[in-house]
Amino acid sequence: MDDGRPTPIRGTRARAAGRMIATALRSNEWAQTWTMLRVAAAITAVVGVAAPAEVVIRGAIEGDRHVPTVAANYFGFFTMVSNSAAAVVLLWAAVWFWIARGGRREPAPLAMALAAATTCIFVTGVVYNVNVPGMPMARNAILPWASVILHGIVPSFFVLDLFLGPNRRALPWSRVAWILAFPAAWVVYTLARANLVTNTLTGVPYWYPYPFLNPYQPGGYVTVAGFVGLIGLVVLLAALVVVAVGRRRGRDLDVSAPRRRG
C-alpha cells in the first residue's frame, strides 16, 4: 500500500528529471530561445512606457501646459524608470549573447545590471499590486492595458528570467548594497526635485509622483519616512533573494560541463 512517502525509485526518477531540466537550461538552444524572449519582453516594456507617454505629452500640448515639465514628471515615476531600465538591460543581454555567440557566463557588469533591474521591477509590481494598509497609491492608469504590462507582465517575466535565464554569473553579497543604491538615489532625487516644479494639472507649487511620498499629507515627513522605510525593506529582501538565486545558479553553471554548441 502506498503510504505517500517517497520510494527509492520515485526519488531516482525525480533526480533524473531534475538533471534533464538542468541540462536543458544550460543548452545553447535554450539560451538562444530565451534571448529572443528577452528581446520580446524589452519591446513590450518599451511599448508599455511609450504609449501612455504619447497620450500625456499630446495632452500637454493640447492643454498648453509646459511640455518639458510634463515629460520630466511622467518619466519621474519609478514605474517608468524601472521599466525603461529593464528594457535597456534586456537588450544589452541579448546583444552580448549574440556577440559572444553563447558565451559561458554573462559579464559581471551585465549580471549586476540584471540583478538590479530584476529587484526594482519586482518591487514595482509588488508595491502596485499589493494593497499595503494605510499606503495611499494612485492607480488611475492612463491606459489600463499599458499598466498591465508595466506592473504585471514585465515584472513576471523578470521573475522567470531570474530562474530560467541563461549564463547566470554568481555575484558577491556586497552587490546587494549596489542594488539598493539605485532606488535610494531615485527617492533622494524625487524628494529634492518635488518642491522645484509645479504640478501642471493642479497648479500647486510642488509635484510628487506617488501620494505616499507627499509630506503635505497627514503625518508629514514622518509618514513619508515610514512608507519609504517599508518599501526599502521590501527592496532589501528582494535584492537578497535575487543575489541568492543568482549565486546558486552561477555555481551550478561553474561546475557543469561546457555547453555544446547548437
- Closest residue by Cα to residue 69 from 194, 180, 174, 153: 194
Residue 31 CA, chain-centre distance (Å), reads 20
Mean pLDDT along residues 193-210: 90
Single-letter amino acid, residue 261: R
Percent pLDDT > 70 in the chain is 81
For 48-61, write each residue's pLDDT tens digit: 999 999 999 999 99
CA distances from 218 to 174, 209, 211, 226 (A): 37, 17, 11, 13
Judged against a pLDDT cut of 60, whether residue 206 lies above it is answered with yes
The confidence score (pLDDT) of residue 168 equals: 87
Residue 261, class by beta-carbon neighbours within 10 Å (0-12 exposed, 13-18 middle, 19+ buried)?
exposed
Domain boundaries, the chain: 8-255
- Average pLDDT of the chain to the nearest whole number: 86
CA dist., res. 218 & res. 103, Å (int):
54
Render pLDDT for 41-51 as a digit per residue (tens, 0 to 9).
Answer: 999 999 999 99
Instruction: Write out pLDDT tens, residues 75-114.
Output: 999 999 999 999 999 999 999 998 887 667 889 999 999 9
Task: Return the residue matching grid coordinates 500625456.
Answer: 56
Q: What is the value of pTM for the model shown? A: 0.85
Give the end-to-end CA distance of the chain in Å, rounded to a whole number: 46
Q: What is the mean pLDDT of residues 156-171?
A: 93
Question: Which residue, among 177, 158, 167, 90, has the nearest Cα to 120 in the 3D structure?
Answer: 158
- State residue 61's pLDDT score: 93
